[in-house]
Structure 1
Amino acid sequence: MTLKFIDVASYQAGLDLSKVQTDGVVIKASEGIGYVNPYCDEFFQQGLKLGKLLGVYHFARNASGNTPQKEADYFIQHTKGYIGKAIPILDWEDKNTGDVNWALQWLQVVEKAYGCKPWIYMSEYVENSHNWKKVAEAGYGLWIAKYRDHVIDKNWDMKNAGPIPTVKYWGFYAAWQWTSSLVLDGWSGKLDGSIFYGDKNAWKKYINNETKPLPPKPNSTKYKVGDIVNINGIYVSKDSKEKLKPAIASGTITKIYPESRNPYLIGNGTGFVNDACITGIHSSKVLKVGMMAKPKKAVLYDGVKLDSFVTKKSYKVIEIKGKRVVLGDGLNTAFHIDNLSY
């Protein structure tokens, strides 16, 4: 499931949220240490009254010499009334986009004040150009921008949206800003249009404005915390039904929610998976010719089933080509590497 949202600043003064089609609105609140959007609260109260999903963002001016602490404090000072009601977001577009430590420190300060993990907004180019590993691994959500062109897109028609963004450091992105030329009935100007990968409950969980869960029941799941698993899909929340393509091939289970649709949390917020997403336990060892390996299932590389006796012992690896592994010792048969324990 996806939801639609716009983002607004002082340029959109006068826009009536009740007259445009949108599930949510993200509002510019502040910039640097000297600017507050004079229309922020008007938009916020409007959105709150209409039941819109809400976010507030701060435009970083890190290249001006400001410290992340000062800019975070400035944002918190002017948005403290929105805590528990909106997702806090760092807009990362200033000249020095490579200062990852600055961004991380801002996110950490705001997280402490808001009691939830902020998002960070950036372009696909910025995400691909710098090492965001520690920000992604810390669980800060990514709102990524990528436009195909600047041709007008009318009323959320995404037929010309172009290819989805490609990311290097996040397992998935929370939202995609796919156009800066969105025109909606009810407003004459252009708007930025984004889609959120989740439902309303998923958005609210980013705000962390929910009751504390009951103590978990005894774990009866197939995998356990600490398992490093191979995955072929990922979800934005533990209850989401929309399977996304992961940017990682494997990850560590760090928490388990036994009664959920997607019970396994991967990393520190990378995403959630279920048994159907897991293709097996990841081995840190590199399989080499001459090593011993045992088939997990009696299924050949091409899908043909064998007698179960082949899973009872280990065989010497005599050939490896990509994911195709040939086992010898009289078997002389090819298996998929993910179907082998070694």
Structure 2
Amino acid sequence: MPVHRPEPRERSGRSRRTRPSRRTVIAVLLTVLSLLVAYPATAQAAEDIPPRGSAHMGMGVVEHDGEGPLPPDSRAAQTEGVDVSSHQGNVNWASLWSSGVKWAYVKATEGTYYKNPYFAQQYNGSYNVGMIRGAYHFATPDTTSGAAQADYFVNNGGGWSRDGKTLPGALDIEWNPYGNQCFGKSQSAMVSWIWDFVNRYKTRTGRYPVIYTATSWWKTCTGNYAGFATNHPLWVARYNTTPGELPAGWGFYTMWQYTSSGPIVGDHNKFNGALDRVVALANG
């Protein structure tokens, strides 16, 4: 008796899944890895990125360079100073003056999108107690040109006058708190951006700005470029007992930010000279 065999069922219309080849998987992994290396900020959680405008001098120094013990209290021929931003709010300048602080820098602007809301109280208040004071700009080279930011700075408090109490403006160029540490720029592009800023500032005010930076950032993001040292006073950031190695070209520092935890308020700094040298820098 013949055996009845059932007809085979037809396959459904869905196509059969195929696994990606090993070569394809490797190519995808290499692409992802290259993106993470080039843009480490893409791996940074959104909640870890501070709001625009909140940057201030030395924001990245502790994170990248660490923080050591404070320098000795008694240092010959150095003059104590502070730098402040909106983080300090309204500052008790009389108290700082009584503690021995004789000069100050106040954050005026950031990029072309932020003005310090406490600038007037801080800038005028330091002047009124007798301090020699100046303004600084936090650079964001990934947002607008150096010239545009120099104009914004000068137009919003960063100017200079020969009154013996106003220091030249300072360019704060350091780690980017909002993303890639070099703002996505190559070393040569960063140098060009800084030249764009300082040349515009010199045209607008007649003074070369102070350059504030940290040696490790300068090496990484400018290739340790030495060309600014001739005309631009150096303000170096290093939280330790000595300022350590300086960026290329500068044989000495003019100012040294040595701590972010001052005894009263703000970051504290040493001017490399007695008070008459601070006055000389103010006068140009």
The structure that is helix-richer by fraction is 2
The 8 Å contact of residues 143 and 173 in structure 1, kept in 2 or not, is answered as yes
Which of the numbers 59, 67, 70 marks the counterpart of 2:138? 59
TM-aligned CA deviation for residue 106 of structure 1: 0.7
CA distance in structure 1 between the partners assigned to 2:225 and 2:274 by the alignment? 26
TM-aligned CA deviation for residue 114 of structure 1: 1.8
1:170/1:125 CA distance change after superposition, 3 Å: same
Give the counterpart letter for 1:133 in structure 2. Answer: A
TM-aligned CA deviation for residue 199 of structure 1: 2.4
Q: In the TM superposition, what whole-angstrom CA distance separates every residue of 1:270-327 from its partner, at most 9, and x where no partner exists?
A: xxxxxxxxxxxxxxxxxxxxxxxxxxxxxxxxxxxxxxxxxxxxxxxxxxxxxxxxxx
Which of the numbers 147, 165, 172 marks the counterpart of 1:91? 172
Q: Does 1:145 align with 2:237?
A: yes
Q: Does 1:32 align with 2:32?
A: no
The 8 Å contact of residues 53 and 200 in structure 1, kept in 2 or not, is answered as no
TM-aligned CA deviation for residue 147 of structure 1: 1.4
TM-aligned CA deviation for residue 14 of structure 1: 2.2
Counterpart of 1:41 in 2: which secondary structure? Answer: helix
Q: Does 1:19 align with 2:95?
A: yes
The 8 Å contact of residues 116 and 207 in structure 1, kept in 2 or not, is answered as no
Q: Does 1:181 align with 2:261?
A: yes
The 8 Å contact of residues 29 and 40 in structure 1, kept in 2 or not, is answered as yes
The equivalences for 1:140-219 within 5 A come to: 140-148=232-240, 162-167=241-246, 168-184=248-264, 191-208=266-283
1:181/1:9 CA distance change after superposition, 3 Å: same
For structure 1, list consecutive stretches of 5 or more residues without a partner in the other structure: 149-161, 210-342
Q: In the TM superposition, what whole-angstrom CA distance separates every residue of 1:168-221 from its partner, at most 9, and x where no partner exists?
A: 32111101111112222xx5xxx3111000223322332335xxxxxxxxxxxx
The 8 Å contact of residues 115 and 208 in structure 1, kept in 2 or not, is answered as no
The structure that is strand-richer by fraction is 1
Q: Does 1:126 align with 2:214?
A: no
1:28/1:35 CA distance change after superposition, 3 Å: same
Query: 2:157 — aligned with what?
Result: 79
1:63/1:207 CA distance change after superposition, 3 Å: same
Give the counterpart letter for 1:59 in structure 2. Answer: F
Counterpart of 2:261 in 1: which secondary structure? Answer: strand
Percent identical: 27
Q: In the TM superposition, what whole-angstrom CA distance separates every residue of 1:209-256 from its partner, at most 9, and x where no partner exists?
A: 5xxxxxxxxxxxxxxxxxxxxxxxxxxxxxxxxxxxxxxxxxxxxxxx
Query: 2:41 — aligned with what?
Result: none
How many corresponding residue pairs? 189
Counterpart of 1:30 in 2: which secondary structure? Answer: strand
1:101/1:208 CA distance change after superposition, 3 Å: farther
What is the TM-score when the length of structure 1 is the normalising length?
0.52
Structure (1 or 2) with the larger CA radius of gyration: 2
1:104/1:207 CA distance change after superposition, 3 Å: farther
Query: 2:25 — aligned with what?
Result: none
Counterpart of 1:63 in 2: which secondary structure? Answer: coil
Q: Does 1:113 align with 2:204?
A: yes
CA distance in structure 1 between the partners assigned to 2:161 and 2:182 by the alignment? 29
Give the counterpart letter for 1:40 in structure 2. Answer: F
Give the counterpart letter for 1:91 in structure 2. Answer: D
CA distance in structure 1 between the partners assigned to 2:151 and 2:207 by the alignment? 16
The equivalences for 1:157-306 within 5 A come to: 162-167=241-246, 168-184=248-264, 191-208=266-283
For structure 2, list consecutive stretches of 5 or more residues without a partner in the other structure: 1-76
CA distance in structure 2 between the partners assigned to 1:110 and 1:199 by the alignment? 27
Which of the numbers 138, 141, 148 marks the counterpart of 1:70? 148
CA distance in structure 2 between the partners assigned to 1:83 and 1:117 by the alignment? 13
Give the counterpart letter for 2:193 in structure 1. Answer: W
Superposition RMSD in Å: 1.8
Counterpart of 1:136 in 2: which secondary structure? Answer: coil
